[in-house]
Amino acid sequence: MPSTPPPGEHLPDPHKGGDHPARRLRQWIAQATRNTVVYSQRFRSLNRNAILYLISNTIQALTAGALAVLYTLFLGSLGFGDVFIGLTLFVGAVGGGASILPASALVRRYGWRTMLLWSDLIGGVAIATQLLHPTPVVTLITTLGIGASAAIILVLNSPFLAAQSEPHERAALFGLNNGLGFLAAVVGTLLGGLLPVWLASPPVAHSAMLLMARPWLLPHTTERIYQESLLVMGAIAVPSVIPVLFLRDTPAAPTVEPIAVAAEHEQQKSSDTQSDKPIPINRRWLRRKIAEAHALFTGVIGRFSLSQLLVGFGAGLFFPYLNLYFVNRVGVSVATYGALSAGLLILQAVVSLLSAPIADHFGKVRASLLAQVASLPFLLALGLFPIGVIAAAAYLIRGALMTVTSAPLQAYLMEIVPGERRIVASNVYNVSWQTAWAIGAGIGGAVLAVGGFASLAGVASVCYTLSAILLARWFLRRPGKEANEAANRLIA
């Protein structure tokens, strides 16, 4: 029997306002339709270079999604141990990190189009060589090239998008780039899971084309199927070069020198002309730099980055090996893991939209801490219970909870750091996280070989716990104005 509303309350009329679900659905559809029209108009209004770059980037994101599913499975099928796989991931991260500064200089010198073509050439040759001749030495050397290719894209992406848009359309362009990349990554992960199944099916495996190519491919069935899948995705990525060929190759805009650096240059010039007192000036400059470095790494930026460095290290320990764990230990098919990864991407996109209201309700640090601590049981369950349903549920829930932490913490860092130091804070935070992730990925292979995935989950949980303790100790009890004052004292 339906319940009646309490006195003074009435059921809302779906045709008159209120919060009736049907009305909310109609409003949501109308808003989505308007947003689609607005974004399609903005896309058409973008300049030629921006549209070509978005097309190229989307195709490459599709390939990257499949690579995330298949690459370590391919290395494992070749008989490479967990230690070597970890070393390969570490070498790729080192190659990318070591190439960032040279890539920045080369982009400024030679322009967007030239460096994008070089990135495609270096990455394409390195991947093709590794797939066709996957010996240990070739794998390590070509992985350096793959990292260098990725570094060029990393350095070029945001400045290129900013240079190809007006201020009023910049947010739309960045949003389109992220949205298209996300959709392509979802499709790529699904393709990465389905391609091995399709290529292993008898009609395809015995097709004339594959039989003709077989003398140049690996001999054993499992490794050959992964090799064929990666080669197919590589072929799909080749058309991404075509839009780049039609870009207008203009030199990149020179970077504006920070005032402090310019002042130091002027001071150095003056010290060169004042030969009578060069040493005191150099000593003062050195002492000032040492004091700035000490304040940076012991102040709020250093403390915040240290707490997130532990998260990056923990994530690097286990995340690159999840496909090996699910396929080899849990026993799911590659197609199932691809679908699971695509589902996680979609879930993370939804949760990222909810992270702002969650942070507003609980506070940025408190919301992040609650989500991070709540994710720990699911991380442990993921490692301790290699049962399909349990592992899949733990994988999805843990990923969703950790997605809550990212945006609020980055926003909090920008709030507690003075405006002139926000770029420094962002760089230190990102570099420390990426470096820790790379080191974790390298060590994770050795830990996996000795103690299994449960050991990885255990060590990662310790890192996440230490990170939460540091965040709570340094930042949780300083809300509002007190946090800003404390942060300024730590920076000073």
Whether 467 maps to a domain, the answer reads: yes
Is the pLDDT at 37 greater than 70, yes or no? no
End-to-end CA distance of the chain: 67
Is the pLDDT at 239 greater than 90, yes or no? yes
Note whether 375 and 468 are same-domain residues.
yes
Give the chain's domain count: 2
Note whether 353 and 432 are same-domain residues.
yes
Q: What percent of the chain has pLDDT over 90?
A: 28
Q: What mean pLDDT is predicted for residues 460-481? A: 80
Note whether 238 and 358 are same-domain residues.
no
User: Domain boundary residue among 187, 222, 244?
Assistant: 244
Q: What mean pLDDT is predicted for residues 215-222? A: 88
Note whether 188 and 330 are same-domain residues.
no
User: Domain boundary residue among 244, 274, 309?
Assistant: 244
Find the range with the poorest average confidence among 105-114, 246-255, 453-462. 246-255
Distance of alpha carbon 88 from alpha carbon 261, whole angstroms: 37
Whether 317 maps to a domain, the answer reads: yes
What does pLDDT average to over the chain? Answer: 78
Note whether 51 and 173 are same-domain residues.
yes
Distance of alpha carbon 377 from alpha carbon 381, whole angstroms: 6
pLDDT given for residue 355 in this prediction: 79
Q: What percent of the chain has pLDDT over 70?
A: 74
Note whether 434 and 372 are same-domain residues.
yes
Note whether 395 and 482 are same-domain residues.
yes
Q: How many CB atoms lie within 10 A of CB 307?
A: 22
pTM (two decimals): 0.73
User: Domain boundary residue among 205, 227, 244?
Assistant: 244
pLDDT given for residue 13 in this prediction: 41
> Which ranges constitute the DSSP H helices of 299-421?
300-318, 322-324, 334-362, 364-384, 388-416
Note whether 195 and 296 are same-domain residues.
no
Q: Would you say 338 and 69 are in contact if contact means Cβ atoms under 8 Å apart?
A: yes
Which among 59, 2, 491, 448 has a CA at the least distance from the CA of 243? Answer: 59
Residues of the domain holding 214: 44-244
Which among 60, 65, 43 has a CA at the least distance from the CA of 244? Answer: 60
Note whether 183 and 309 are same-domain residues.
no
Reported confidence tier of residue 488, pLDDT bands at 50, 70, 90: very low
Q: What mean pLDDT is predicted for residues 269-275? A: 45
Q: How many CB atoms lie within 10 A of CB 448?
A: 24
Note whether 215 and 308 are same-domain residues.
no
Say which CATH number the domain at 63 has: 1.20.1250.20
Those residues with Cβ within 8 angstroms of residue 432's Cβ, 6 or more apart along the chain or in another chain: 305, 306, 308, 309, 312
Calculate the alpha carbon distances from 186 to 72, 143, 179, 382 in Å.
18, 24, 11, 22
Q: What mean pLDDT is predicted for residues 5-24? A: 46
More confident residue, 49 or 8: 49
Note whether 301 and 238 are same-domain residues.
no
Length in residues, the chain? 492
Distance of alpha carbon 389 from alpha carbon 370, whole angstroms: 25
Distance of alpha carbon 207 from alpha carbon 226, whole angstroms: 17
More confident residue, 39 or 409: 409
CB-based burial, 415-428: b 16+ in 10 Å, e otherwise: ebbeeebeeebeeb
> Ranked by mean pLDDT, which of 132-141, 153-162, 277-286, 466-475 comes out on top?
132-141
Distance of alpha carbon 438 from alpha carbon 92, whole angstroms: 9
